[in-house]
């Protein structure tokens, strides 16, 4: 019988970044009469930095205890290596990106699992209202827009649950701590926002913090006319920043210099990149591929005649870019020209929580609760396998991988599936 684990514990930022002659200096405090970034985004219900909505409070390591093993759900289409039964509803989509280690994140906490066996390694208690950012098997937590500002960002090792690292920016005004929120991490540098409460739009800055030394590499003040909705790292030392003024700014991660900016002409719900292009999903123009070097438009895929669907965040890898629409259409395109290679229609609809992944030549697409997970041949679009379970639930599937296993979960279950075979 396959092992079954059990959980015994039951972006917002000011956009329109201003260049500095000295990028290590943040300037421009306002007069305090404008609303803070937190107030504006909380009132608008904005989703920040990939939609993170939960925080981790102090880690509390609990010793393993014997617990009754629940009966596994009926499975079809793929034999799992192990199945973990957790408490609460699995919600990996709350991270800015899927971690490469298996974790079970729910409203009752985050449990780190052993990749080979699915057994619990540690458990971290949760507090509502935070932003979670992943980078190189580590996790950063900020208080989030709906929570009381903590004034710092904390880091956890996802393999062990250990902490001990935190970043707390110095107060610009005595007695008023700076609120810090994580946006993205490339493994060694954390990109975050610092906001001085009470100083409005002009009291924010985008900051790059060296993780090993905890020293600020550079800092840029925000302009008073737009919020940064999110940031994402890109190849070649680039940082992609999308704002509420329908614009994209690309920065040099080494020193914070603005490399180029583009007016997108539509709502910038996401941005991603490969070695050649930045890919943007726009309401009116479909998907655009901009040159990562200078922002010029290389190609675009126009929307179909009906406007009842939207493009979701694409996946770019190995010389191809895979486009997804919320009505379940998948198309593969040559990354250099946009030429369509194949198309496939999934047996379910998609939404922003469904994040496909590419591993070992297989495009793994998570679907609705009853739709399961579909694996397509990345070269042809043919269906390789489909995985479903019979457990009750309503949440969508989410997937992650460590390159050897695919971790597919929803609601109370997380399954480890073999990549090949």
Q: Tell me the CATH number at 198.
A: 2.130.10.10
pLDDT score at 148: 66
- How far apart are alpha carbons 51 and 353 in whole angstroms? 9
Q: Identify the pLDDT of residue 23.
A: 35
Distance from first CA to last CA of the chain, Å, rounded? 19
Q: How confident is the model at residue 47 (pLDDT cuts 50, 70, 90)?
A: very low
pTM listed for this prediction: 0.82
Q: Which residue, chain included where needed, has tokens 């985008």?
A: 206
Q: What is the mean pLDDT of the chain?
A: 79
Query: Please, which residues have CB within 8 angstroms of residue 307's CB and are 6 or more apart in sequence?
Result: none
- What whole-number distance in Å separates Cα of residue 286 and Cα of residue 302? 5
pLDDT band at 38 (very low <50, low <70, confident <90, very high): low
Share of the chain above pLDDT 90, in %: 46
Give the number of other Cβ atoms within 10 Å of residue 71's Cβ. Answer: 8
Quick check: 418 pLDDT over 90? yes
Question: How many domains does the structure of the chain reveal?
Answer: 1
What are 240-297's pLDDT values in tens digits? 988 777 688 999 999 999 999 988 766 556 778 999 999 987 766 678 899 999 999 9
What share of the chain in percent tops pLDDT 70?
72
Q: pLDDT at position 81, please?
A: 95
Of 15-29, 132-146, 197-211, the range with the lowest mean pLDDT is: 15-29
* Partner residues linked to 317 by β-bridges: 320
Enter the DSSP assignment of 74: P
CB atoms under 10 Å from CB of 286, counted, come to 18
Give the helix, strand, coil percentages of the chain, each rounded to 5: 5, 45, 50
Q: What confidence tens digit (pLDDT) does each residue in 377-407 have?
A: 999 999 999 999 888 778 899 999 999 999 9
Q: Provide the domain limits for residue 50.
A: 4-10+12-418
325-377 tens-digit pLDDT: 888 999 999 999 999 999 999 999 998 888 999 999 999 999 999 999 999 99
pLDDT at 16: 43
- Higher model confidence: residue 10 or residue 41? 41
The residue to which tokens 């205890």 are assigned = 65
């Amino acid at each position: 019988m396959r092992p079954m684990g059990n959980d015994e514990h039951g972006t917002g930022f000011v956009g329109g970044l201003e260049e500095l002659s000295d990028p290590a200096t943040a300037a421009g405090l306002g007069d305090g009469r404008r609303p803070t970034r937190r107030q504006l985004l909380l009132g608008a219900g904005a989703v920040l930095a990939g939609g993170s909505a939960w925080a981790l409070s102090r880690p509390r390591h609990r010793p393993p205890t014997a617990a009754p093993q629940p009966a596994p759900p009926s499975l079809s289409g793929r034999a799992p290596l192990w199945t973990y039964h957790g408490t609460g509803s699995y919600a990996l989509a709350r991270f800015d990106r899927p971690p490469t280690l298996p974790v079970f994140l729910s409203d009752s906490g985050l449990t780190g699992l052993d990749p080979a066996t699915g057994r619990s390694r540690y458990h971290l208690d949760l507090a509502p209202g935070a932003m979670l950012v992943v980078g190189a098997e580590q996790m950063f937590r900020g208080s989030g827009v709906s929570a009381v500002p903590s004034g710092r960002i904390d880091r956890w090792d996802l393999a062990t649950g250990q902490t001990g690292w935190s970043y707390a920016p110095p107060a610009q005004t005595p007695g008023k701590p700076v609120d810090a929120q994580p946006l993205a991490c490339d493994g060694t540098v954390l990109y975050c926002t610092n906001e001085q409460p009470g100083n409005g739009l002009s009291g924010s800055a985008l900051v790059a913090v060296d993780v090993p030394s905890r020293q600020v590499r550079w800092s840029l003040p925000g302009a008073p006319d737009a919020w940064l909705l999110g940031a994402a790292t890109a190849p070649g030392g680039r940082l992609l920043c999308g704002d509420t003024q329908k614009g994209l700014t690309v920065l040099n991660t080494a020193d914070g210099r603005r490399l180029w900016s583009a007016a997108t002409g539509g709502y910038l719900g996401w941005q991603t990149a490969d070695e050649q292009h930045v890919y943007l999903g726009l309401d009116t123009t479909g998907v655009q591929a901009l040159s990562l070097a200078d922002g010029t438009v290389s190609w675009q895929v126009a929307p179909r005649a009906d406007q009842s669907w939207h493009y979701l965040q694409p996946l770019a890898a190995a010389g191809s870019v895979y486009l997804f629409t919320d009505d379940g259409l998948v198309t593969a395109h040559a990354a250099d020209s946009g030429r369509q290679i194949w198309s496939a229609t999934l047996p379910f609809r998609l939404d922003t929580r469904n994040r496909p992944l590419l591993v070992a030549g297989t495009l793994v697409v998570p679907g609705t609760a009853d739709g399961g997970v579909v694996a397509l041949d990345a070269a042809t679009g043919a269906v390789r396998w489909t995985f479903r379970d019979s457990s009750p639930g309503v949440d969508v599937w989410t997937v992650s991988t460590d390159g050897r296993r695919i971790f597919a979960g929803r609601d109370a279950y997380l399954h480890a599936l073999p990549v090949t075979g």
